[in-house]
Amino acid sequence: MWQGLCIFLLVITGCSCFVNLVHNGFRLKAAMTGTPHTFAWNADKAIDGSTSQDYQSNSCAISKVDVDKLTKSYWKGWIEPSPFNIGYLEIYFRSDTYERSTGFSIYTYNTQNFYPFIDPKHLIYRHDPLAGCPSPIMNVTVNKVTQGIVFINERPPGYRSNCQGDNTQYVGIELCEIKVMGCDQVRYSSGCNQLCPSKCKNQHCDAFNGSCIHGCSNPNALTVDCLVCPPHYYGNDCNTPCGNCRGDDVCNNVTGHCPLGCKQHWTGIRCEVCPSHYFGSNCNTACGQCRGNDACNNVTGFCPHGCKPHWIGHRCDECENGFFNPTCTGQCGYCKHNLTCDKANGYCPQGCVKNYLYPRCQVCENGYYGNNCSQHCGNCLNGGFCDKLTGFCGNGCKPHFQRPLCQVCENGYYSSNCSKQCGHCLNGQPCDKHIGLCEKGCQPHFQSPLCQECQDGFYGRNCSQQCGHCLNHEPCNKDTGHCNKGCQSYFQYPLCQVCENGYYGTNCSKQCGHCLNSEPCDKHIGYCNKGCQPHFRSPLCTECQDGFFGSNCSQQCGHCLNHEPCNKDTGHCYKGCQSYFQYPLCQECVDYFYGNTCSDVCGLCKDRETCDKRNGTCINGCVDYVKGSRCNESPTSELQKEDDETSFHWSYAGIGILAILLVVALGFIVFLKRNQNQPTFKSEFVTEGQTPTQTSLQNYDILTVSQETNPYATMNSEMNESPYHNLP
């Protein structure tokens, strides 16, 4: 079977006829630590047969290095159904990140419960990170009968690498293909056509040459030829001494391999050489700091091309003056008197120059910063200290100091501790940060130079509001605008900006009129917006409508001449009254006239009294010989009306009858008396157009009315002829 398989592969693929055990009819279970970078990039991708090293081909097993952040990772494969004689591994790393696999190890195991991290005896190969980077494609000799292969990478404490591009913190899996090349467990040679000798233990032999490297069937035979070698020797002739095996263990009698590894500072598969960068008889002395990371002479330790910067001596194992620490990378601080520091710990032997922190004198004392530590830190928050190089306060400043140095106030604040807020500087300019002055002036109505309070006469947050009319022109409160000592007359407290109810005008000096329902008037122009009380003139309601007068305009004007309005305070008709009305109010008739229009003349009232000026009645009766409520009827006959409105005269129809009844003597007496002088009524009254002094009527003596209009005149003439005139 194996011979036929190899011939087939040789014809088809041109291979050397070690079989890729995980991709040629055998099954391998693969697993890895970490999270696959994508679902497609799982552990099985490293055994899918594709040797493409481009991760974009989706044929690589890749974990999330930066996400998982592991310091130990592994990929393992378990070949079924049984162990195989594995000759070597062909490892294809991801081409763009193969440097990150620096320091990897290969282990084998024969139980699925193998834990390589705690059982290093199955180590096959470990890449030395100090030797540089691995190759993108690596062949690793296994030459072992096994069933499991483990690829391991880790970053232990103190890990160092000379591979540029290596990730010295975290590891992951970045394998594009692992070919496991070998034969059936009892076969060897490149054609897998040779059976292992039966003298070999379990018939397991060297995969390349068939020697019994895994031991002999005879437990006393200790060489690859199953010869009996003495302890600590190996080889076909048993004359090659073992190397420096760990714990003075004996090496493999066939291969010379140390089963438990090498003593410290020894390396190689047989532990017989010093590792790179060590020298001495026991390989236990590390080389110094040779230039270019050169290895020193493994006997003398001398560096062939000199030292790295800041190292001196033949072996480059001493710091030059001014530097210290195990790597001579620490620069001495500012030691007093320019002394050099201790090359081991960097301490200055006699202290530091001013403001530097002892013992190394490399950084400033707390509270100082700068190249020579001469600058004081600013006002850092919560008493913190500034960065000793830049002076920056990393946690921020005390309130109102300006980041990052916290040495000057933020714009808008001033004083030594920046606790005072700037005033209202013109155009939003910041104030002087020491004394708070607004150097370019204030915003309107703020008081120079600090611009923090309003000028007299203004108030409010922005001093934009003008004070009211404070008493005695005192300034108002500059926050609230209140006039603390009261207002000028008729202004409303506390702002004194508007009139009290009942007053209006610029100075509130004008009193409101009689607004309807006692509503206040408009405090600017005095208008009664809801109208006036009855008989007041809109809109001010301060004077009566025409035809009314008095303090409440409740009195109606009299009958002024030509219907002129009366005086609205007194009711006087300054231009006089209509005919027969009494000046100055012109509301009632002059004496001896009555009626709505005062056009009716009174009758002959007793004792020359005037009649009632409304209805013409004589309150105390009539003169003799006259009757009627208005004293305008004859005693012997009915009073005949000759004028419907203003006059009447006596009718004498019954005189003849009286003459018959009376004696002739009585008639004679009447006749004798008829020419005697009788009192006459004289009247002087104000006609329309006369002055008020012409309208006074005192008594009958001044009553003069023409006979055509006055019934008193006709009565007098008739009574002169009356037989009753001189009756006893």
Domain annotation covers residue 67: yes
**pLDDT the model gives residue 334:** 93
Determine the Cα angle at 590 with ends 584 and 592, to 5°.
Answer: 170
User: Strands 368-369 and 375-376, how do they pair?
Assistant: antiparallel
User: Which amino acid, 116?
Assistant: P
Final residue of a domain: which of 185, 200, 216?
A: 185
* Six-digit token string for 649: 């005269």
**SS3 for 337?**
helix
- The Cα 392–Cα 80 span in angstroms is 65
- The Cα 271–Cα 240 span in angstroms is 13
- The Cα 310–Cα 332 span in angstroms is 12
Report CA 313 to chain centroid distance, whole Å. Answer: 65
Same domain, 194 and 170: no
Kindly give the residue spans of alpha helices, DSSP state H, lying in 599-708.
655-661, 664-673
Same domain, 233 and 140: no
DSSP string for residues in 1-67: -HHHHHHHHHHHH---S-EETTSSS-EEEEEESS-BSSTTSSGGGGGSS-----GGGS-SEEB-HHH
DSSP 75: E
Domain annotation covers residue 129: yes
- The Cα 447–Cα 437 span in angstroms is 11
Same domain, 123 and 260: no
Same domain, 171 and 234: no
Same domain, 68 and 88: yes
Looking from the CA of 232 toward its CB, the CA atoms found within 13 Å total 9
Contact predicate 380/397, CB 8 Å: yes
Same domain, 239 and 140: no
In this structure, the number of other CB atoms found within 10 A of the CB of residue 123 comes to 16
Domain annotation covers residue 522: no
- The Cα 336–Cα 282 span in angstroms is 44
Task: Classify residue 24 as exposed, middle or buried by CB count within 10 Å of its CB (0-12, 13-18, 19+).
Answer: middle
Domain annotation covers residue 243: yes
DSSP 217: S
User: Strands 240-241 and 330-331, how do they pair?
Assistant: unpaired
Final residue of a domain: which of 166, 185, 204?
A: 185
Q: For residue 127, give its domain range.
A: 16-185
Q: Which contacts qualify for 458-464: CB closer than 8 Å, 24 or more apart?
A: 462/424, 463/424
* Six-digit token string for 485: 């000592």
* Six-digit token string for 637: 């006959």
Domain annotation covers residue 86: yes
- The Cα 633–Cα 711 span in angstroms is 11
Same domain, 163 and 243: no
Determine the Cα angle at 238 with ends 232 and 242, to 5°.
Answer: 30
CA-to-CA separations, 555 to 534, 543, 575, in angstroms, rounded: 11, 13, 19
Same domain, 154 and 263: no
Q: Which of 340, 344, 368 is nearest to 354 (CA)?
A: 368
Count of domains observed in the chain: 2
DSSP 233: E
- The Cα 48–Cα 59 span in angstroms is 7
pTM of this structure = 0.37
**pLDDT the model gives residue 649:** 40
Domain annotation covers residue 171: yes
Whose structure tokens read 């000026």?
613
Task: Report which secondary-structure segment, H or E, holds 282.
Answer: none
- CATH code for position 159: 2.60.120.260
Evaluate the omega torsion of the peptide bond into residue 494 and state whether it is cis, within 30 degrees of 0: yes
Evaluate the omega torsion of the peptide bond into residue 136 and state whether it is cis, within 30 degrees of 0: no
- The Cα 26–Cα 312 span in angstroms is 59
Counting as low any pLDDT under 50, the low residues of the chain are: 1-16, 637-728
Domain annotation covers residue 463: no
Same domain, 81 and 179: yes
Domain annotation covers residue 633: no
Q: Which of 671, 669, 639, 673 is nearest to 654 (CA)?
A: 639
**SS3 for 712?**
helix
User: Which amino acid, 221?
Assistant: A
426 phi/psi in degrees, rounded to 5: -60, 135
Same domain, 179 and 194: no
Final residue of a domain: which of 152, 185, 218?
A: 185
**pLDDT the model gives residue 367:** 93
* Six-digit token string for 233: 């020797």
The contacts of residue 74 (CB under 8 Å, 6+ apart) are 32, 33, 116, 150, 151, 152, 153, 173
What pairs with residue 556 in β-bridges? 548
Same domain, 31 and 115: yes
* Six-digit token string for 535: 């008989």
User: Which amino acid, 209?
Assistant: N
Same domain, 75 and 201: no
In this structure, the number of other CB atoms found within 10 A of the CB of residue 529 comes to 12
Q: Which of 74, 80, 75 is nearest to 22 (CA)?
A: 80
CA-to-CA separations, 364 to 328, 329, 454, in angstroms, rounded: 22, 20, 48
- The Cα 507–Cα 501 span in angstroms is 13
Contact predicate 452/423, CB 8 Å: yes
CA-to-CA separations, 143 to 46, 148, 212, 214, 398, in angstroms, rounded: 21, 13, 11, 10, 71
Q: Which of 67, 81, 21 is nearest to 47 (CA)?
A: 21
- The Cα 595–Cα 561 span in angstroms is 17
